[in-house]
């Protein structure tokens, strides 16, 4: 039976960061020799200062990925991160189907506004004052001719798909609806009572205001967005027959609501978002009721 051989004496080792210091300690992650000043307590054993810093960087990177892409990730508005777009195409299909219905009833694609369906839904202030308040909403789904429809639906697609991904389906639909209502109320408040209006432009301009606020929040280049908004505003004021009041009403409401949607602090995000939308809707209803009373008196409409 042979005797156990004694282990050879280990040569003195020095700290990786301080060569003048001898040590018998190692980092449990990289296994480099380190003096006590260069080690930090870890979940298991001790790690050197380089490994601790690397672990922090990795954790920060994982957190960024989780916030941006991972399961349960949220946008600045609190929506789950997704590439799926549902509400925007459904709105486009709905507008398209209603246009087809009016054109079929009128027997003309170019003169669809002569259909009964169109006339029953377009926004005309005296009829709204007479009790047909739903025209504030239905008018936003009616379009005069295919070119009017095409322009609005293209704008809805290019603006809506990005905003829907940022805000989420419910918030985006709420933004669209309150912008639509804002445009309708603006027309009802200030438009010539002899004019009637139709079109999704109020809601579209609400999305224009929303995309501007979102770009500011995300610190994106604003040049292109500002140019597009400027061009649309010039068209609103310069082209005859366009209801610029509806455009400005939708733009103002959409901008205000989006500020609350993307700037609300995370810890109170939902109450701020819901509360802001509710207050805006309440304010629009109040303004509508005041104007309604004025027009009822003006036209002698029985209450």
pTM for this entry: 0.74
The pLDDT of 190-198, averaged and rounded, is 88
pLDDT, tens digit (0-9, with 9 covering 90-100), for 58-95:
776 555 444 444 445 888 998 988 888 999 999 999 99
pLDDT classification of 9: cutoffs 50, 70, 90:
very low
Of 102, 127, 98, 128, the C-alpha closest to 113 is 102
Domain spans of the chain? Answer: 13-71, 87-299
CB-based contacts of 154: which residues, under 8 Å, 6+ apart? Answer: none
pLDDT, tens digit (0-9, with 9 covering 90-100), for 127-170:
999 999 999 999 999 999 999 999 999 999 999 999 999 999 99
The pLDDT of 291-298, averaged and rounded, is 86
| Mean pLDDT of all residues belonging to the chain | 87
CA atoms within 13 A on the CB side of 31: 0
**Can 247 be counted among the known catalytic residues?**
yes
Residue tagged 């509710």 (tokens): 278
Choosing from 115, 139, 201, 236, which is the catalytic residue?
Answer: 201
Proportion of the chain above pLDDT 90, given as a percent: 56
Q: Is the confidence at residue 236, as pLDDT, over 60?
A: yes
The pLDDT of 273-285, averaged and rounded, is 97
Task: Output the pLDDT for position 42.
Answer: 79
Task: Output the pLDDT for position 69.
Answer: 45
pLDDT classification of 298: cutoffs 50, 70, 90:
confident
The CA distance from 39 to 68, in Å, is 33
The pLDDT of 96-119, averaged and rounded, is 96
Task: Output the pLDDT for position 55.
Answer: 81
The CA distance from 187 to 124, in Å, is 9
DSSP state of 112: G
**Can 236 be counted among the known catalytic residues?**
no
The pLDDT of 226-245, averaged and rounded, is 79
pLDDT classification of 12: cutoffs 50, 70, 90:
low
Task: Output the pLDDT for position 302.
Answer: 63
Q: Is the confidence at residue 202, as pLDDT, over 90?
A: yes
- CATH number of the domain at 87-299, please? 1.20.1540.10
């Amino acid at each position: 039976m042979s005797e156990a051989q004694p282990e050879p004496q280990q040569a003195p080792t020095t700290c990786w960061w301080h060569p003048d210091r001898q040590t018998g300690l190692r980092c449990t992650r990289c296994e480099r020799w380190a003096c006590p000043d260069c080690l930090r307590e870890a979940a298991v054993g001790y790690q050197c200062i380089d490994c601790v810093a690397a672990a922090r960087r990795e954790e920060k990177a994982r957190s960024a990925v989780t916030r941006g892409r991972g399961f349960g990730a949220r946008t600045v508005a609190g929506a789950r991160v997704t590439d799926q777009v549902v509400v925007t195409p459904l709105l486009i299909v709905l507008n398209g189907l209603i246009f087809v219905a009016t054109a079929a009833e009128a027997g003309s694609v170019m003169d669809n506004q002569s259909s009964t369906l169109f006339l029953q839904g377009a926004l005309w202030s005296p009829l709204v004052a007479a009790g047909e308040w739903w025209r504030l909403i239905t008018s936003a789904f009616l379009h005069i001719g295919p070119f009017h429809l095409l322009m609005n639906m293209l704008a809805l697609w290019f603006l809506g798909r990005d905003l829907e991904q940022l805000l989420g389906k419910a918030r985006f639909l709420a933004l669209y609806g309150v912008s639509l209502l804002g445009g309708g109320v603006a027309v009802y408040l200030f438009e010539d009572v002899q004019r009637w209006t139709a079109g999704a432009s109020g809601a579209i301009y609400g999305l224009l205001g929303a995309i501007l606020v979102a770009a500011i929040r995300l610190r994106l280049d604003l040049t292109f967005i500002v140019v597009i908004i400027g061009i649309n505003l010039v068209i609103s004021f310069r082209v005859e027959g366009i209801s610029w009041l509806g455009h400005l009403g939708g733009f103002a409401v959409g901008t205000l609501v989006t500020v609350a949607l993307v700037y609300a602090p995370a810890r109170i995000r939902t109450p701020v978002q819901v509360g802001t939308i509710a207050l805006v809707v309440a304010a629009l209803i109040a303004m509508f009721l005041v104007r309604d009373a004025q027009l009822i008196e003006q036209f002698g409409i029985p209450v």
